[in-house]
């Protein structure tokens, strides 16, 4: 990838907590309107990477650039980068409508515009019937959709998704993955999607990267990712092939 044309560029990022290195010279480049899947086990530094990009954690070393502008000294409020957690983290004192409108209210957008924009967002996320409900009245998938809507409505330059579907059951997880793909296309989202699930990483990402012990390895293509023994895809495929062969023999 041509680093000069990258929408997001991370150069030699390093971070240690209590002298324990969490990120070691992490670099990545991401084009606009693409989703980068970062696969990695728990504790490998994925969340720290996202939090540094969002401005929530200060790096020890390294540089961040968004659309060519240096991000390091910019406060999280002014980066226009939204970080989505594993939990939907809806505001319990607000209903679905007001949760989605939250970012617009912060920007003091006129009420009529808020109504129109939130209405459209509710419809596009199939939440129109739930607009007056409280967060505790929603299912896990619906909550996560509201969280997406709340992030999308402020048109962020970049979305950082930290295992957002990990708390959902398999069926809802699949439908949420499809929904995110649709929404990402429709709103031309640029995002980094962090997961420890191999299948999910492959489904969600236009580009692939793997993180291990604080080091990030980017892959030029999905094919390279699939054929690399370190990613575990070959082992996974081998397992299913063996199972299939066993089934045929039986």
Q: Restricting to residues 87-116, which ones interact with another protein according to CB under 8 A?
A: 87, 89, 91-94, 102-103, 105-107
Q: Which residues of 177-210 are buried (b: 16+ CB within 10 A; e: fewer)?
A: bebbeebbeebebbbbbbbbbbebbbbbbbbbbb
> 166 — phi, psi (to 5°)?
-65, -25
How many residues sit close enough to another protein to count as binding (CB under 8 A)? 28
Q: Should residue 8 be labelled a site residue for another protein when binding is judged by CB under 8 A?
A: no
Distance between CA atoms of residues 159 and 193, nearest Å: 8
- Report CA-CA distances (Å) from 242 to 61, 98, 229, 246: 46, 51, 17, 6
Work out which of 8, 30, 71, 83 binds another protein, going by CB under 8 A: 83
The CA angle 132-182-117, to the nearest 5 degrees, is 40
Closer residue to another protein (CB): 51 or 145: 51
Q: Should residue 79 be labelled a site residue for another protein when binding is judged by CB under 8 A?
A: yes
In whole angstroms, how close is the CB of 32 to another protein at the nearest point?
Answer: 19
Work out which of 81, 146, 184, 192 binds another protein, going by CB under 8 A: 81
In whole angstroms, how close is the CB of 250 to another protein at the nearest point?
Answer: 48
Q: Should residue 17 be labelled a site residue for another protein when binding is judged by CB under 8 A?
A: no
Closer residue to another protein (CB): 107 or 247: 107
Closer residue to another protein (CB): 51 or 130: 51
Closer residue to another protein (CB): 13 or 82: 82
- Nearby residues of 40 by Cβ (< 8 Å), 6 or more positions away: 46, 194, 196, 210, 211, 212
The CA angle 30-35-41, to the nearest 5 degrees, is 95
In whole angstroms, how close is the CB of 79 to another protein at the nearest point?
Answer: 8
Structure tokens at 221: 């293509």
Q: Should residue 150 be labelled a site residue for another protein when binding is judged by CB under 8 A?
A: yes
Give the residues lining the site for another protein (CB under 8 A): 51, 54-56, 75-83, 85, 87, 89, 91-94, 102-103, 105-107, 150-151, 154
């Amino acid at each position: 990838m041509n680093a000069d044309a990258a929408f997001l560029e991370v150069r030699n990022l390093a971070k240690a907590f209590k002298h324990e290195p969490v990120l070691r010279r992490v670099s990545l480049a991401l084009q606009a309107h693409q989703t980068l899947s970062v696969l990695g086990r728990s504790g490998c530094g994925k969340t720290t990477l996202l939090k540094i990009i969002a401005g929530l954690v200060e790096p020890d070393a390294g540089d961040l650039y968004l659309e060519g502008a240096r991000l390091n000294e910019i406060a999280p409020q002014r980066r226009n980068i939204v970080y989505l957690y594993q939990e939907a983290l809806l505001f319990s004192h607000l209903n679905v409508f007001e949760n989605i409108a939250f970012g617009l209210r912060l920007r003091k957008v006129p009420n009529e515009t808020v109504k129109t924009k939130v209405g459209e967002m509710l419809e596009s996320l199939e939440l129109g019937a739930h607009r007056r409900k409280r967060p505790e009245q929603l299912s896990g998938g619906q909550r996560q959709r509201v969280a997406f809507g709340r992030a999308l409505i402020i048109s962020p330059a970049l979305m950082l998704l930290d295992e957002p579907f990990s708390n959902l059951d398999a069926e809802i997880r699949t439908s949420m993955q499809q929904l995110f793909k649709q929404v990402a296309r429709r709103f031309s989202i640029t995002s980094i999607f962090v997961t420890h699930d191999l299948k999910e990483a492959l489904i969600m990402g236009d580009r692939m990267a793997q993180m291990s012990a604080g080091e990030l390895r980017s892959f030029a293509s999905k094919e390279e990712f699939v054929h690399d023994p370190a990613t575990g895809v070959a082992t996974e495929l081998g397992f299913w092939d063996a199972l299939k062969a066993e089934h045929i023999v039986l």
